[in-house]
Structures are given as C-alpha cells and as structure tokens.
Structure 1
Amino acid sequence: MFKNYLKIAWRNLLKNKGYSVINIGGLALGMAVTLIIGLWVYDELSYDDYFSKKDRIAQVFQSQTFNGETSTGPAIPRPLEMALRDGYADNFKHLVMSSWSNPVYLNYKEKSLSKIGNFMQKEAPELLGLKILKGEKNGLRKVNSIMLSESLAHALFGDEDPIGKVIRANSQYDMEVSAVYEDIPQNNSFSEMEYIMPWEKYLSLFEWIKNAEDQWGNNSFQMFVQIADNASMAQVTSKINDVKKNVSEAEAEYNPQLFLLPMKDWYLSSSFENGKQVGGRIKYVWMFSVIGAFVLLLACINFMNLSTARSEKRAKEVGIRKSIGSQRSQLVYQFLSESFLVVLFAFAIAVLIVLLSLDGFNDLSRKEVVFPWGNPLFWLFSLFFVLVTSLLAGSYPALYLSSFKAVDVLKGTFMAGRYAGLPRKILVVLQFTVSVAFIIGTVIVMQQINHAKNRPVGYDKKGLVQIPVMSQDFTGKYDLMRNEFLASGAVVEMSGSSSPTTEVWSNRAGFNWEGKPEGFQEDLAWTQVTPEYAKSLNLEILKGRDFSREFASDSNAVLINETAMKYMGLTDPIGKFITDDAIEDPFPPLKIIGVVQDMITQSPYEPVKQGIYAYDKHGNTSFYNLRLNPEKSAGENISIIESVFKTHFPAIPFQYDFVDSEYAEKFAAEERIGALSAIFTALAILISCLGLFGLTSFVAEQRRKEIGVRKVLGASVFNVWNMLSKDFLKLVAISCFIAVPISYYVMNGWLQGYPYRVILEWWIFLLAVVGALAITILTVSFQAIKAANSNPVKSLRME
C-alpha cells in the first residue's frame, strides 16, 4: 500500500513540475538554513567537550565592589593558592595556578617563532586531561622543562624527535622539551595554548611575582581547579568564600567575593552584570535556534499554501477516490506520502546546499564546522527531522483535501466555503510577521554596530602600528630603536607603553588625592608610557601640557584622561598630586601635569574607563607604538621597519599589528552575528515570497471565472491587478502591525546589554514596513498580471 502511495505521489510531482520545483525548492532552502544553524548550535553547545572532566573543572572568579558597582572577573591574588591548599584541600582534586596567556619567542637552531602559551603548575596536564603523544605525562615537574603542542613541535623540529631537545625562550633562558601533547581543537578553551612552562619558572623570571606571594591586593593571576568527586560546585563556592577573612582591611572594603565558574559556562555564560551572572554568548545560541525554527516553519507554510492552492484540481481526484470506496484515512496517508516524498527530495537538496555553503559559512562565522557524515546520531536525527517536517508541512493539506465531499465534487457544486481561505491567510500573516521582525532586528543590529564604529576613538588609529617587545632583548634599547626608526624615514614618531593601544592590562586602586571623598573606592586604568606617547597617537592635550624629556621632574608626573578628571571630582587638576604608599616605599607623589582626550581602549560599546598615564622610568615598555610616514605606502614603511628591526634583533621574529585592524576586531563578534542575521533574513523573505506566490495562485484560481466576467465587461489589467493585490496588502499590513511592537520589545531588551547603544528611531520600523509592502507588490504582481492577461473564454467555458 505504501509503495502505491509513493508511486502516485511521484506521478503527481512529475505532472505538476512547476509546483513541485517551488515546493521542493522552498522546503530545501528552509531545511538547509535549519541544518546549518543546527550544526552551528551543536558546535557552540559542544564547546570544551574535548575535556573529559569538563563537569568537574572550574575557574576561580572574584567579584569586587567599587562605589556600589560590582565588577566580576577571573583575576585573583597569589596568596589565595596557599589559603585554599591549607584550609580547603579536601574540596579539590587538583588546584592549578596559571599566568595569563603569554606570547614567547622560541628559538631552535635557525628557527624562531612567536607562540602563545601559559606558565602553569605541574598538575595542569592531569587537570586538563591532555593527550600526551610523546614524552612524560608529568612534563612540568622540572623547572626548565617545556611541553609543546603537536603542531608547534612539528614547526620547530620537523621530523626530529623533540623530546630532550633544548629551546631558547625569549633569548633569555633554555627550556628542555619534556612532552608533546595533542593539539586542542578550535572549539575549546586553551585551543591557542601551544606551550606550557612550569609555574616555578614564572616565579624565577619576575621579581614582582615573587613579591606578590602575600599581596592580597595584587590580582594578576588565574586559578583553575578540579573539584573533588564527592563535592559540587555550589558547595565548594559556599566554602571558599570564607577565604575573604584573610584579606587586609584595605582590601576588605571592596567586599571581595570568590566563586567557581564551571568550565561549561566559560564560553556561553561568562557575562556578569553588577556581580550577577547574566548569560553571554548563549543568547546568540537561543536567537539562531529560534531563527532556524521559524525559517523551517516558513518553508512548511509554503508547502501548505501551494498544496491547498491546487485544491480544486485535486478535488475531483478526491471525489472519485471516495466514490469507489477510499476511506478518509487512506486519503490522508496518500497526501502525507506525497509530503514525505517532497520533504525527502528537499532534504537531499538541502544537504547539497549545506555542503556547498559550509566553507563560506565557516569563513563568516570563524568556525570549523564539518558535516557529520560518520555520526549515526546525526542521521537518526535527520530521519526524525524529515518525518516531523513531513507531518508539519503535510498535515493541514492532507486533512483539508481529504475532507471534500464526493457528491458535491462530482456534481460540480463543490465550494471551498466562505472561510476556507482564512487559515491560509493566517499563515501568510504569520510568515510576514516573522519576516518583518527579522528585517527590523537585522537593521537594528547593523545600526548598533555602526553607532559604536562611528564613536570618536580619541586618537588617530590610521597609520599606527604596534610591535610587541616582551623579551629581555629589548630591555634598555628603547631610545636606540626610536632613533633608528626615525632615521629610517618610515616612522615619524614612536612611543612605548605597558599596554597595547586597544586594551587595558592593569587596573589599580588605593590612590589618594586632595578632595577625595571619604570612603570613595577608586578603580583606575594604569598605563606606563614614554614621553612621546600622546604625540605618536595624535592624542589631544585638553588641559596642561604633555610629558617632556626637558623636565627631570616629569619622571614623577602623570597624565589623566577626561573621564578620570570627572571621576576624581577635579575641576582644575593641573598641579594636583596623587599618592599611593602601596606601590613603592617611599613612594613619591605623582603630579598631574595634563589632561588628555578620552580614548577607547576597551569595548567600544562601554563607557571610557577613567585612566592614568604614568611616565615610564623603569623600562616597563611592552609595545612600541609607531606612527608611519604618510608620504610612503604602508607596505614600503613596514619593509623598512622590518629591516631595521632585524638588524638589531636577528633572532626574534618580526611581529606587528595595525591598530585600526586590532580596533576593528572589537566589532568582529557583532558583525558576524549581523551578517548571519542578514543572510537568514533574506532567505526568510525569499521563502515568505514563495508562500505569498502560493496564496496568489490559489486566489487567482478560485476567482478565475470572476476575472473572466470582469474582463468581458471591460475591466482593465490594472483593475484586475488592484482587485487581487489589495487583499494581500491588507494581510501584510496586519503582519506589520503585529511585528513592529514585538520587534521593538525584543530589540529594546537586546540593546539594554550595551551601555553605549543606539536609540530606536521610528524610521527603522517604517523602512521595514515599506520594504515588506514593496516586496508584497512585486510578488503578487506576477500572478495578478498573469491572471489579468489570461483569455476569458478559457475561464468562462464549462469544463
């Protein structure tokens, strides 16, 4: 019986090729979008699945309150380690202190590479469950050992056995390769960690890290833990929060709160607002899941509309089948089998579309999503997906068409009924409600991105290049390199800074100044710079003056930004002093000599942070900031700069970044979301137009005799077009009336996550409404004009 159903279904598909192509094409497009989104969502939700102990691993986070506002992050003080080991050891299986990810220059023979990795305690490989390919599992037990990723080992040693080989790090110290571990896949934390060096080595390299052993106020480290088998995250969090009793009185005023953030939340739910976890990237997972579901629903609605549009043609078939004994259930199975066949073909085409577009999708989303050919669960889900879509798309046409009465159909008195078209109209209203909401949402996302992009950055990022100089080789050579670069003609100005131009690496508190309110809890961004910093960035001095090498006293001077001046309550800050006995003993007062224009160094969607720029008198430069010669091309300038660099540092790889490119990266995540939303919106509109085309076909077919009579009585093509079009414009107008308030509510809520955000303006909604109406007119016009130009003789004759 089922075989017979499929044969008839196949014949009907071949008999009505036009409808079949539209039906299958529309469903294929909707299913392809749903499949791609499904693969993306799966990749997001499976983040960190590489780590077998994912459910037991966590990072220690800390919340601190400054003047009533709570900030949360993973930075913790070094003394916390011993406090946890001494008092709470039973709650942890592993506890690992770690540096932040650091770029290090690695040299072996003639090869020199710059790679990112971490200094970590010896339990790190066990905590992370690294797959050791060569060497010893406990590869961090010796202070001069180094563990390499498989790709880095191959890059340095080729086919040689790396175990036991000695690598020169930062031209300063030798490290012996103790192990090679499998590369951590991209959709995982630590995927960029290409080396691990012992924590003890880290302590031996920097004096300030040794001194931080008992400094509860120095939050410059990370800590990863694996909780004990008999413990839960909530239990351990409630216990370790008691550690705050160890902090000094000065630190206690910031009310530090410790808690564990499970690894499963690192990627998707790591956003905090005033100390509360408020989600994060998970909102995009939900957003695209909803988009995928709606796009598939739109495609299914098309199938319903196109199937019922042919109702009168199928009515006689139903009448004849019923007259010779077919039961309604048999007819339902027949129509569902047609639906299944269409969906099956559509799924095959959808898979082909996904395969052809996956590379482009990966480039756009910066993913490495692969089609899961060998995953039986995927194919099981796909079968379920096809069956559900078949039922979803075919249930209404099957129930509707099988409900026709045989006597009425065969007597020629079949009428669809006054309200027979109502369900289809409701479906089209639903389609365009979704499409208009998508249009509004995409426009607002783009508006928000452009709003942040057009925000004044405060400095001239064009033609500005930064070079990382975090090796001992650069110590004491700033003046030499500045003179060399300026003499080369490729650079018109150069400065040094302890942080990159587009980030803040250090925040400090504990400052005092004249007029500071009692109990005020300050939090200031701290950057050490050379005297040429403002000149190299074209940073405007608003009050006072810039640093000058001619004044020896400037070694104890600072610049502050506009926000800091307001934050500190200083109306006339020039000449005022800032003190902080915690930094040095004795600590000389810092004199404010100038106020610089605010510059965006963190998120462009956030307010500018209050900042201090201190004269770098200790050589803490981590970056060279080079202003390129505008009279030469960027390529020519970079070539000259590289030549000068290699002359002085032949063993160090030449690295540089254009600051405008680094700044553009701050918009990358939102731009990817915006681009994907735009693509899916365009596809949703296309699918909705197919649905509208189906309803137009249905109405034109239902009213063909009326159109014939009107034409015989003298109606023009415009009269017929207007008669058919106005009903559809009403439907779309209703869609807009529903979509506008819904999209306003949703997008206004989305924008609340951005302190610096666009204002929702009326023209955005008007643009979406006008666009939807224009698309409706274009779509309807094809069928309306076709019906208006048809021969009335054919439509009026009795069949």
Structure 2
Amino acid sequence: MFTNYIKIALRNLVKNKVYSAINIGGLAVGMAVAMLIGLWIWDELSFNKVHTNYDRVAQVMQHQTFNGDVKTQGAVPFPLGPELRTTYGSDFKYVVMATWPNGHILSAGDKKLSKVGAYMEAQAPELLTLTMRRGTRASLTDLHAILLSESGAKAYFGESDPIGKLMKIDNRFDVKVTGVYADLPHNSTFSELAFIAPWDLYFNNESWPEKTTNPWRANMYVAYAQIADHADMDKVSAKIKDVKLNNSHKEEAVFKPAVFLHPMAKWHLYSEWKNGVLTGGRIQYVWLFGLISVFVLLLACINFMNLSTARSEKRAKEVGIRKAVGSERGQLIGQFFSESLLVVSIAFLFALLLVQVLLPAFNVLADKRLSMLWTTPSFWLLGLGFSLLTGLIAGSYPAFYLSSFQAINVLKGTFRVGRLASIPRKVLVVIQFTVSVTLIIGTIIVFRQIQFAKNRPLGYNQNGLLSVPINTAELTGHYDALRTDLLGTGVLANVAQSSSPTTAVWMVNNGFEWPGKAPGVQGNFGQVLVSHDFGQTVGWQFRAGRDFSRSLSTDSSGVVINEAAAKFMGLKNPVGEIIKQDGKPYKIIGVIRDMVMDSPYEPAFRTMFMIDYTDASRFTLRLAPTAVPSQALPAIEAVFKKYAPASPFSYEFVDQEYARKFGDEARIGNLATVFAVLAIFISCLGLFGLASFVAEQRTKEIGVRKVLGASVLNLWGLLSKDFVFLVIIAFGIATPIAWYFLNNWLQQYQYHTDLSWWIFAVSGLGALLITLITVSFQSIKAALLDPVNSLRSE
C-alpha cells in the first residue's frame, strides 16, 4: 500500500514539473537558511563551552560611580587577586591575575613573529582546562616558563619537540618552553592566545609609582576566578562586593567601587552594561536571527501549503473516481500525506546539499568556523522532526478536506469550490510579504546606521595615516633619532608617538581639579600622552588656542583638551586656565574639536592630551601627499629595521583600524541582506506558482474576454490586481511593526540615524515592483493565448 502511494506521488511530481520545482526549491532554500542560521546560533550559544568548568568560571569586574553615572569595567588593580585568595579563599578554587591578551614579539633563534599572548598566574591552565599536547598544566610554575599553543609551537619548531627550547618575549624576557596546549576553537574568548607566560615574570619587572604608594588605584589588569565546587556564583559575587572599597584610599572610595563576578557563560552574549545594569549584548542578534530563520522557514512552508491546497482542488474528480471504485477515506488521507511527506523529504535532502555547498561562503560572511553537525543527534532530530511536521501540516488540507467529498457530487459535476476557499491562501500571501517588507526595511536601516556613523566628522584626518605598534624595547628611547630618519626617507610628512592609538583611549584618570569645580564632582578624564608632533601628524582641528611647540619649554606642563572636556568643566574661555592632577598644575593651551577615538556610535569622551615621551605604545605616521604606499612602506620598514633589526615590522592604516569598529554591525547587515533577498526569492516563487495556477484556472474566462475585445493590458490588470492589493495590505501591516522594532534597536546608540519616511516608501514600492514583475510573466503569457484554443479546450 505504502509503495503504491509513493509511486503515485512520484508520478504527480513528474507530471507537474513546474509546481514540483517551485515546491521543492522554495522549501529547500527555506530549510537551508534555517540550518545555516541554526548553526550560527549553535556556535553563539556554545561559546566558551570548550572550557570544561565554564559555568563556574567568571571574570572579576567592577562598577564605579562617576557623578551619579555607574560605569562598568573589566580592568582591576593588581592587589585584587591576592586579596580574594586571602580573605575569601574558601569561596574560590582558583583566582588568576593576568594581563590583557595582546600582540608580542616572540622569538626562537632567528625566527621572530608577532603573536597574541598574555602573562597569567600559574593556575591559569587549570582554570581554562587547557588540553595539553606536551608537558602538563602545572608547567607554568617556573618563573621563566612559557606555554605555546599547538599551532604556535609548529610555527617555530615544525614537527620537532619544542619542550626545553629557549625563546624570548619582546626581546626582553628569556623563557623556556615547558608545555604545548591544543589550539582553542574559534568560539572561545581565548582563541587567539598563542602563548601564556608567567605573571610574576612580567609583574616583578614592571615599575610604576602607584605600585607601592597606592596599589588599589590603577585598574590595569584582568582577573579570572573559578568558584569552589560548593559555592554559588551569585552569593560569592555579593560577598566580594566591597573588597576594593574596603582597601581604597579616600580619594578612590568616592567612586564607590563595587566588585562582582561576571560568569564566563555570559561573556560573549551578555556584555553590555548601562548604569551598572546588564542590558544585553550579542544575545539580541541571536534572537534576531532566530526570528529570521523562523520567518524564512514560514515563508517556504506557506508556499508549500498554498500550492498544495491550490493544486489539490483540481484533484476533486480524482477523489471522486477513487471513492467510486472503493477507496476508503483513510486510504485517501494516507495518499495525500504520503505525497506531502515525499516532497518535504526531497526538499530536506536538497537543503543538506545546499548548506554543505554554501557553508564556506557563509563562514566568510559571518566570520565563523562552522561545520555540519553530522554526528550530533539533536541536528537530525530537529531536521527530521521539522520535515515530518511540515509534511503533516501541508498535507492536512487536501487529506481531510478533499477526502470528505461525496463521489456522486463530484462525478455529476455539481461540486464547486466555495468562494471563501481562496481566503486562507490570500492571508498566507499577506503574511509572506509582511515578513519580506519588514526584512527589506530592517536591512536598509542597518546599513543606513552604519553609514551614518561612518560619515560622522572624526575631528582629524585619517587619509594616509599609519599606526605602528611599539612592541619591542628596541624602539623605545630613540624617538628623536628615529623620527629624523623616517622624515629623511622623503615618504613621510610627519611622525609622532602616543600612549594610545588614534582609534582608542586606553587610559582614564581622575584626581583633576579646575577653576569653578563644584564640590562632589568627580573629575575623570581620558588621558593620552603624546609627543610634540602628534597634533600636526593626525590633523587636530583647533577651536581655540594653539598646538604644542618644541620651542616653548613650558609646554611640558601644558595640556590640550577636547570640546567634551571643556564642556564638562564648564569653562567658557578655557585657554590659559590652570588645572591640576593630584596637585600638579597644567596650563590649558588649546581646545580641539572632539576626536572620535572610541565607539563611533557614542559621544566623544572628555580627553586631555599631555606631553610625555616615556610612555608610548604607538608611532603614528603621516604619508607625504605624493607618496605611493606600495613604494613608501619598504622605505619605512628599512628605518624600523635599523633600530630593531630582528623584529618583524607591523603596521596598519588608521582608516582600516577604524573600520573594524563597524565589524559586528556590518556582518549583521550583510547577513540580514542575504536573508532578506532569500525571503523575497521564496515569496516570489510562491507568488509565481499561484499566479500560474490562477491564470490556468481562468483560461476560458480570458478567452471569452479577448473575444469580447479585452486588450492585453486589461487582462494583465485583471490578473495582477488581486496580488497587488495583497502586497499593499502587507505593506500596511509591516510598516508599524518595522518602525517599532527598529526604533527600539536604534535607541541603543546615542549617535544614530532617523527612521525617515522614504525608507518605508522605497521598501513598499520595491515589494510592489517585485510583485508586478513576478506576476506579470504569467499574466501576460495568459493574456497572449489564442482564445480559439482556450475556448476549444475541455
């Protein structure tokens, strides 16, 4: 019996090739999109799960209150780790102090490469549950040890055993390889970590005044902790709240530091804070793409159900004959369900093939390392479960409705499909285009927001600006000589150094006083230490005053502030005013236009620029107007090699460095565009099939109208108007839905675009145009038919 059902189903598929292709193709594309999004969501939700104890590991963070506004940060002072171990030791299994992962020059013999690494306390490998390929997790206890990632070890030593080999970090520390750990996957926070070196090796060799005078003031490091097996994360977090407050000096206590644990399970998806409250993060994109996958799948199912029900009405006579020769209703229901399940099964197989083919391109687009979960049972359960459910739902209408026909009415020709039979199909078409129009509007808004931020005035000139990290001690202490040699190449217009790149403010300090400062106001400012030439190099735009001058020795105690700083201090004429930091006086010599150094979506932070040559992390180079980058870079590299001959020369154009700030939004926009296009494609497939069915149904009517003088244009309008009307209804529903959700999304950015009316108008007109193009093919084809053939046919 079942074999017979399958044979009949296959014959129907072959007989109706166009409808079969539309049904299978649309459903396969919808399933493929859902699978790709599902893999993306799976990767997001499984972030950091490679670390066995990830549900018990946390980063120790802190809230601080500045002028009533609570700020949250991950940087903490170095005594925090020892204090937690001493005072709250029973609540923690491990507490690990570390530096932030950063680029370092790691060398072995003559081979020197730039690798991301961090200095961590000895228990870090246990906390991160590293899988050791060679050595043990305990091998970081040696002060001069180093652990390499598997790929890092291979880059330096090939297939030979690296254990015991000597290396050097930043041409500064001699270390010996004591262990090799397996590379961490792309969906781990520490995926780029190529080496781990002992914390004491770094910390014992650092010297800065507050290390001994006020060690709880400087928030420079990161702390990780694993709570004890018997402990509760929330209770421990509440217990350690005042650990920094109880140890801070009076001037730090006014910021009300509150220490807490941020679980590793939330690092990736929940990382945005507003006024001390966790407000979300990438989880919003998980929900967004989850909804998109549901809607795209819904569009494909709507197509399937629409075409299945539409075509099933033509099979009424078949049902009548089957009943007349003895078929029972249960057998007819089984037949229709078998056909439906066969189509869905074929579509599922095509979807698997599509995903396998598209996955490499999708990985590039989404910046992922996804692969098919062939060996994961839940993947197959979800896929097969969905296929079964879709087949049952789509086959339910023809199975239960058509099987209920009375054979005598159908065969006598008295059976007529009711006028309301098409209403469910029209409702489903409206739903399809509501989703499609909403996706179109959303895609436009995302890209408009990105462009809005990109076109924001930067306050300096990025063109021809290079950033060169100072990642070796050989480049420090030679600024004037190095600058002279660089300018001597003729390819550079200017050279400067600074403690932060132009695309970030790495240091925020407090303890500032200024004329008219109100009691209780906390004066925390971004602080960038620069050379005299920094302003000329980046292209500062002055609102008042002047730049630093080498000819004026007093400028060593001068300061240039941005507009945000002047506004915060309430200084109407700031030039010439004296401000103090921890009692040391500085004279404001200039006010510059706000530079966009941090988030392009947020207002510029109040920042001060001061002369200091002892704490530099970057060289900033301005190419000469006539210089060709491909010719200039070798000349620049030669100069750097002169001072650091064995270190690799690394650089980045500032505009590219700045563009990375749009990475997440750009990827989301690109993915949304792809999904919107696919949603429209699926909707148009269904529309094409329905238009074809309607034209086929009305063949005789078209013939009669042509005989009576109707033009092709009249007939085109007759067949198209119903679909146009449905799209207009869909647009009316989609507009308020899109406005509500997109307006809420934009509000998370302080610097954002507006929801202009033309975006909705263009989206609606676009959907209407797509509809007309899709429907017109079948409408015009039907209108051009010879009426003689139309009226002669049975």
Query: What TM-score, normalized to structure 2?
Result: 0.98
Q: Which residue of 2 aligns with 1:247?
A: 248
Q: Cα 1:400–1:794, aligned 2, differ >3 Å: closer, same or farther?
A: farther
The answer (yes or no) to whether the contact 2:273–2:279 under 8 Å persists in 1 is yes
Of stretches 455-464 and 423-432 in structure 1, the one that deviates more from structure 2 is: 455-464
- Partners of 1:498 and 1:596 lie apart in 2 by 18
Q: Which residue of 1 aligns with 2:442?
A: 441
- Partners of 2:212 and 2:532 lie apart in 1 by 29
SS at match of 1:269: coil
- Partners of 2:766 and 2:585 lie apart in 1 by 63
The answer (yes or no) to whether the contact 1:724–1:784 under 8 Å persists in 2 is yes
Consecutive unaligned residues in structure 1, runs of 5 or more = 582-586
Q: Show the 5 A alignment for 1:606-755.
A: 606-617=602-613, 619-755=614-750
The answer (yes or no) to whether the contact 1:58–1:226 under 8 Å persists in 2 is yes
- Partners of 2:425 and 2:406 lie apart in 1 by 20
The residue type paired with residue 263 of structure 1 is M
- Partners of 1:329 and 1:277 lie apart in 2 by 56
- Partners of 2:314 and 2:423 lie apart in 1 by 19
- Partners of 2:67 and 2:210 lie apart in 1 by 31
- 1:710 Cα deviation after fit: 1.5
Q: Show the 5 A alignment for 1:364-383.
A: 364-383=365-384
Question: Cα deviation per residue 1:649-686 (whole Å; 9 max; x = unaligned)?
Answer: 11111110110100111111111110110111011011
SS at match of 2:26: helix
- 1:257 Cα deviation after fit: 1.8
Q: Which residue of 2 aligns with 1:217?
A: 217
- Partners of 1:671 and 1:337 lie apart in 2 by 44
Q: Which residue of 2 aligns with 1:155?
A: 155
Q: Which residue of 1 aligns with 2:115?
A: 115
The residue type paired with residue 527 of structure 1 is V
Consecutive unaligned residues in structure 2, runs of 5 or more = none
Q: What percentage of aligned pairs have identical amino acids?
A: 52
SS at match of 1:396: helix
The residue type paired with residue 108 of structure 1 is A
Q: Cα 1:601–1:798, aligned 2, differ >3 Å: closer, same or farther?
A: closer
Q: Cα 1:386–1:649, aligned 2, differ >3 Å: closer, same or farther?
A: same
- 1:454 Cα deviation after fit: 0.6
Q: Show the 5 A alignment for 1:453-492.
A: 453-492=454-493
Q: Show the 5 A alignment for 1:406-417.
A: 406-417=407-418
- 1:210 Cα deviation after fit: 7.6
Q: Which residue of 2 aligns with 1:768?
A: 763
- Partners of 1:421 and 1:56 lie apart in 2 by 57
- Partners of 2:110 and 2:360 lie apart in 1 by 36
- 1:225 Cα deviation after fit: 0.5
- 1:213 Cα deviation after fit: 8.2
Question: Cα deviation per residue 1:521-576 (whole Å; 9 max; x = unaligned)?
Answer: 22211110000001111112221111111111111111101111111111111111
SS at match of 1:139: helix
- Partners of 1:708 and 1:606 lie apart in 2 by 64
- Partners of 2:490 and 2:400 lie apart in 1 by 80
Q: Show the 5 A alignment for 1:106-505.
A: 106-208=106-208, 211=211, 214-243=214-243, 244-505=245-506
Tell me whether 1:789 sits opposite 2:790 in the alignment. Answer: no
Q: Cα 1:482–1:397, aligned 2, differ >3 Å: closer, same or farther?
A: farther
Q: Which residue of 1 aligns with 2:598?
A: 602
Of 746, 750, 775, the match for 1:780: 775
Question: Cα deviation per residue 1:567-593 (whole Å; 9 max; x = unaligned)?
Answer: 111111111122122xxxxx5311111
- Partners of 1:747 and 1:81 lie apart in 2 by 43
- Partners of 1:559 and 1:392 lie apart in 2 by 69
The answer (yes or no) to whether the contact 1:79–1:213 under 8 Å persists in 2 is no
Query: What TM-score, normalized to structure 1?
Result: 0.97
Of stretches 353-362 and 76-85 in structure 1, the one that deviates more from structure 2 is: 76-85
Q: Which residue of 1 aligns with 2:586?
A: 590
- 1:313 Cα deviation after fit: 2.6
- Partners of 2:401 and 2:697 lie apart in 1 by 16
The residue type paired with residue 36 of structure 1 is L
Of stretches 392-401 and 250-259 in structure 1, the one that deviates more from structure 2 is: 392-401
The residue type paired with residue 606 of structure 1 is E
Of stretches 505-514 and 303-312 in structure 1, the one that deviates more from structure 2 is: 303-312
The residue type paired with residue 736 of structure 1 is F
The residue type paired with residue 590 of structure 1 is Y
- 1:141 Cα deviation after fit: 1.0
- Partners of 2:400 and 2:586 lie apart in 1 by 82
- 1:209 Cα deviation after fit: 8.3
The residue type paired with residue 48 of structure 1 is N
The residue type paired with residue 591 of structure 2 is V
SS at match of 1:205: coil
The answer (yes or no) to whether the contact 1:693–1:783 under 8 Å persists in 2 is yes
Q: Cα 1:205–1:405, aligned 2, differ >3 Å: closer, same or farther?
A: farther
Q: Which residue of 2 aligns with 1:584?
A: none
The residue type paired with residue 601 of structure 1 is M
Q: Which residue of 1 aligns with 2:512?
A: 511
- Partners of 1:168 and 1:706 lie apart in 2 by 86
Q: Cα 1:42–1:443, aligned 2, differ >3 Å: closer, same or farther?
A: same
Q: Which residue of 2 aligns with 1:13?
A: 13
The answer (yes or no) to whether the contact 2:492–2:627 under 8 Å persists in 1 is no
The answer (yes or no) to whether the contact 2:22–2:686 under 8 Å persists in 1 is no
- Partners of 1:213 and 1:284 lie apart in 2 by 45
- 1:470 Cα deviation after fit: 3.0
The answer (yes or no) to whether the contact 2:119–2:197 under 8 Å persists in 1 is yes
- 1:781 Cα deviation after fit: 0.9
The answer (yes or no) to whether the contact 2:475–2:643 under 8 Å persists in 1 is no
Question: Cα deviation per residue 1:617-658 (whole Å; 9 max; x = unaligned)?
Answer: 4x2111100001221211111111111211221111111011
The answer (yes or no) to whether the contact 2:474–2:643 under 8 Å persists in 1 is no
Question: Cα deviation per residue 1:324-349 (whole Å; 9 max; x = unaligned)?
Answer: 33333322221221111111111121
- 1:227 Cα deviation after fit: 0.6
The residue type paired with residue 325 of structure 1 is G
Of stretches 501-510 and 376-385 in structure 1, the one that deviates more from structure 2 is: 376-385
The answer (yes or no) to whether the contact 2:562–2:594 under 8 Å persists in 1 is yes
The answer (yes or no) to whether the contact 1:629–1:637 under 8 Å persists in 2 is no
- 1:698 Cα deviation after fit: 3.1
- Partners of 1:512 and 1:204 lie apart in 2 by 33
The answer (yes or no) to whether the contact 2:104–2:116 under 8 Å persists in 1 is yes
Of stretches 447-456 and 252-261 in structure 1, the one that deviates more from structure 2 is: 252-261
Question: Cα deviation per residue 1:100-153 (whole Å; 9 max; x = unaligned)?
Answer: 112221121110111111111111011111111112321221211111111111
Of stretches 301-310 and 564-573 in structure 1, the one that deviates more from structure 2 is: 301-310
Of stretches 470-479 and 692-701 in structure 1, the one that deviates more from structure 2 is: 692-701
SS at match of 1:48: coil
Q: Cα 1:740–1:20, aligned 2, differ >3 Å: closer, same or farther?
A: same
Q: Cα 1:213–1:366, aligned 2, differ >3 Å: closer, same or farther?
A: farther
- Partners of 2:170 and 2:722 lie apart in 1 by 74
- Partners of 2:89 and 2:195 lie apart in 1 by 28
Of stretches 463-472 and 676-685 in structure 1, the one that deviates more from structure 2 is: 463-472
The residue type paired with residue 64 of structure 1 is Q
- 1:599 Cα deviation after fit: 0.8
The answer (yes or no) to whether the contact 1:79–1:214 under 8 Å persists in 2 is no
- Partners of 2:6 and 2:277 lie apart in 1 by 57
Q: Cα 1:493–1:642, aligned 2, differ >3 Å: closer, same or farther?
A: same
SS at match of 2:381: helix
The residue type paired with residue 518 of structure 1 is P
SS at match of 1:310: helix
The answer (yes or no) to whether the contact 1:163–1:179 under 8 Å persists in 2 is yes
Q: Which residue of 1 aligns with 2:52?
A: 52
